[in-house]
Amino acid sequence: MRIPLIQVDAFTRRRFGGNPAAVCPLNAWLDDDTLQAVAAENNLSETAFFVANENDADVDYDLRWFTPTQEVDLCGHATLAAGYVIFRHLRAGAGQVVFASRSGPLRVFRRGDALALDFPRRPARAARERPGVAAALGAAPRHALLSERDDLLVFDDAGAVAGLEPDFRALRAFDGRGFIATAPGADCDFVLRYFAPALGVDEDPVTGSAFCVAGPYWAERLDKGRLTARQISARGGELVVEMAPDGRLHIAGHCVEVLSGEFTVA
């Protein structure tokens, strides 16, 4: 059995920037062990798989995401990449695509020459910094907040975030948690880095789902409904984050296709 594979660099205008995602369109779902094996073989932060949805008139495809070690409940860059693949290869004239996912319905739509995600907001609540987190990151944040999946750690400036040298083994001990290090930006509204060793990704190049947490925080702090942001990983990424009037979040960016081929799975 052969399945298509398209690799897309998401949240960037240039090849070999942003966050690479593998996208595999399927005619029907394969067993979970095979999906996980394909994601491990890709060895990218996420591989997205989708299958046409024939049962719900409001949904186009069912979508799932796997890191090299496990399935996750939400992934921004691989969703943007999946939308890009559908617009470019499957539904060239479409203006939007709707996915069913473990995080509910997710929409990708065209916004000028970019694509945008319609995602849930995941606001964080103020909390005491958890013991061991600052030591694992290598620096103490100014503020610590908690969301459903991630710690949001706010630093004074972009230099402090860029200079972090985390102890990934120590962070891995916080099972199932990701860590968003964020600060005001010099040439944008805010910057962030994202670490998730417990999910199989030491540092993610660009993390759409992290902006579901950081976006609402900075929108409130800066009193702005539309913000520009950068993820300052080694590859880097640029995003526009907008608070939608329906309580959702729009995260816009560009995609570049860099590779296509086939997986032989049986």
**Which among 253, 259, 260 is positioned nearest to 77, based on CA atoms?**
253
| Active site members | 46
Is 266 a residue whose pLDDT tops 90?
A: no
| pLDDT at site 129 | 80
Structural domains of the chain in order of their starting residue, each with its CATH number: 2-121+252-264 (3.10.310.10), 125-239 (3.10.310.10)
Instruction: Give the Cβ contact number of residue 164 at 10 Å.
Output: 17
Q: Are strands 255-264 and 248-253 parallel, antiparallel or unpaired?
A: unpaired
Assign 65 a pLDDT band (cuts: 50, 70, 90). very high
Mean pLDDT of 131-154: 96
Structure confidence at residue 70 (pLDDT): 95
pTM of the model: 0.94
Cα separation, 23 vs 35, whole angstroms: 12
pLDDT above 70 covers a percentage of the chain that reads 100
Q: What is the 3-state secondary structure (H, E, C) of 74-88?
A: CCHHHHHHHHHHHHH
Express each pLDDT in 205-256 by its tens digit.
999 999 999 999 999 999 999 999 999 999 999 999 999 999 999 999 999 9
**CA 12 vs CA 19, 105, 237, 255: distances in Å:** 8, 24, 6, 6
Using 50, 70 and 90 to split pLDDT, how confident is the model at 175?
A: confident
